[in-house]
Structure 1
Amino acid sequence: MSPRAPLAGQVVVVTGAARGVGELLARRLAARGARLALVGLEPEELRRVAESLPGDAGHWYADVTDAEAMGRVAAEVKERFGRVDVVVANAGVATGGPLEGSDPAAWRRVIEVNLVGSAVTGRAFLDALAAGRGYLLQIASLAAIAPAPMMTAYCASKAGVEAYAHSLRAEVGHRGIRVGVAYLSWTDTDMVRGADQDELMRELRGRLPWPANRTYPLGPAVDRLVAGIERRSAHVYGQGWLRGMQPVRGLLPGALALGARRRLRELAPRLAAVRGRGLVGAGGAADEAARTERH
């Protein structure tokens, strides 16, 4: 196990920091003396979080898919704090339901924010991270290990960010940058609560095999992320049992497909009710509002 590095005085950038994982992570890191740069699409919420943190914290309004905006944020963060030690690519959105009849704009937006936005974030901060031999933590998901039905966009995006982060680790290691991937199961956030508002999606999730069929508290998962950042870990597991999924992950898609075949046949008459849905949760609503305002 890698030794823990003190976080006091380190500059940490967190995207998607207005709520959920990003907000609590910012609070836990600030409590350990880190200086925070919060990035997201909800300026009032970001200001609220930043002003409530102990120590030095700033906030930036930016869409992580906008390369120009993220380049500006990276330059301004470096100018304000003088350095960047850690970047947490956490910003993410989700939609659910069958691919057939899905909202094409929402489906595409999940890929854009979760995958393209992560790469845009990484590219914007690479030089600053190299200057301080820093650490990039990419937030992935159980969805990257065990892709489930009715989540094609989210699973594709999280499998993509996992592969992107592994590739980037090999690419930038010689520059002194360490890259980690964090895996979270269903965790108590606005996104998960938003998905659970749909009765069918909630029912399908409840039928997943234990322990993937329950919602986990946010605090312990974020504490594991903090420990991973302190250790500059290559892999971080928000729930400990996720580590045990890695050796058998090749078997999981087939097993999930076999189990889903009968269940979805039974539920077929109800599937139309979840077609054409947009992004879920308060974060999804904020993303859609920001895009509407820009256009």
Structure 2
Amino acid sequence: MTGSPLQNRTVVVTGAARGLGAALARACASRGARLALLGHEKPHLDAVAQDLPTPALALEVDVTDPDALEDAAAQVRGRLGPPSVVVANAGVAEGGPFATSDPAAWARVVDVNLTGSAHTARAFLPDLLRTAGYHLQIASLASLGAAPLMSAYCASKAGVEAFGHSLRAEVAHHGVAVGIAYLNWIDTDMIRDADRYAVLRELRAHLPPPARRTFPADVVAARLVRTVERRRTAVYVPGWLRLAQVGRATLPPVVMRSSRRELPRLEAEGAMGPTGPLGAGGRADHGSGARRP
């Protein structure tokens, strides 16, 4: 595709081995961008890179390791050129009651999703300042309205929204734009795995029909790449999430009423246990040894 502002620009995507990250890498490459793919699962990163029509670099990096990210940024800069776009997409999730959650597992979700996003921005910010670039932070409906049994994930996604707003205010006068992507259910390993657990599946089933619809990763990536091209401050997929943003103060009471109605039954049925890491990406993060002291 010619005429895109991404033509011959370097784009960094974290969590690019599968799911939305891989789909977004393909969408950016179709616009002529060079891709730096960061994450766990090096064989999957290599496979995504090999299928792209433009130059790509696959780097196995844990986003919670700032030194590794600094090294990755130097490699990207040297081999592909300074990035004009950075997408902080890497994320993990676990479900289950907070009271019985493993503190280390809970903290890991926050560390990857929130602290890892901040480490990513810190490592590549010098390049974005040089290129007057664009940082896209992947957030969630969970940034707007927290759900029961997903406390770490919801806390981390609320945090990345706040981080994105703060970073935008700090760097706007340097010509760097920061966008936040509010996404609902996407057909990825993480969501398919969550549906295997009765408590998460049933809580989702009691949402209004528009709120429980799942969207293909390629469809979401197509929306996101247009957001990147236009350097927008926010994107909502699906579009009705913008209404949730406007009415976010009304969401906690709605969630509370639903939880009071559904959770006692699920608790009595013994369906409230911890899920462990959700999806292949979450299991890859768990298996990386990152949690071990």
Q: Give the TM-score category using the shorter length.
A: over 0.9
Cα deviation, residue 293, structure 1: 9.7
Partner of 1:162: 161
Contact 2:236 2:242 in 1 (8 A): yes
Partner of 2:276: 278
Partner of 1:173: 172
Q: What pairs up with 1:19-98 in 2 under 5 angstroms?
A: 19-98=18-97
Measure, in 2, the Cα distance between the counterparts of 1:293 and 1:139.
23
Partner of 2:187: 188
Query: What root-mean-square deviation, in Å, do the aligned CA atoms of Structure 1 and Structure 2 show?
Result: 1.5
Contact 1:225 1:237 in 2 (8 A): no
Q: Which SS does the other structure have where 1:197 is aligned? A: coil
After superposition, the Cα gap between the structure-2 partners of 1:214 and 1:249, relative to the gap in structure 1 and judged at 3 Å, is same
Partner of 1:221: 220
Cα deviation, residue 229, structure 1: 0.3
- AA aligned opposite 1:281: G
Count of matched residue pairs:
291
Q: Deviations over 1:92-125 (max 9, x none)?
A: 0000111121222221111000000000000000
Partner of 2:237: 238
Measure, in 1, the Cα distance between the counterparts of 2:288 and 2:210.
36
Measure, in 1, the Cα distance between the counterparts of 2:150 and 2:170.
30
Larger deviation, residues 204-213 vs 184-193: 204-213
Measure, in 1, the Cα distance between the counterparts of 2:217 and 2:95.
21
Measure, in 1, the Cα distance between the counterparts of 2:39 and 2:134.
20
After superposition, the Cα gap between the structure-2 partners of 1:294 and 1:77, relative to the gap in structure 1 and judged at 3 Å, is farther
**Percentage identity across aligned positions?**
54
Measure, in 2, the Cα distance between the counterparts of 1:273 and 1:263.
11
Q: What pairs up with 1:202-217 in 2 under 5 angstroms?
A: 202-217=201-216
Q: Deviations over 1:225-251 (max 9, x none)?
A: 011000011001221111121110111
Partner of 1:105: 104
After superposition, the Cα gap between the structure-2 partners of 1:31 and 1:186, relative to the gap in structure 1 and judged at 3 Å, is same
TM-score normalised by the chain length of structure 1 = 0.95
Gaps of 5+ in 2: none
TM-score normalised by the chain length of structure 2 = 0.95
Q: Which SS does the other structure have where 1:212 is aligned? A: helix
Measure, in 1, the Cα distance between the counterparts of 2:108 and 2:244.
28
Cα deviation, residue 200, structure 1: 2.2
Gaps of 5+ in 1: none
Partner of 1:143: 142
Measure, in 1, the Cα distance between the counterparts of 2:199 and 2:254.
21
Contact 2:73 2:124 in 1 (8 A): yes
Contact 1:93 1:113 in 2 (8 A): yes
Larger deviation, residues 249-258 vs 151-160: 249-258
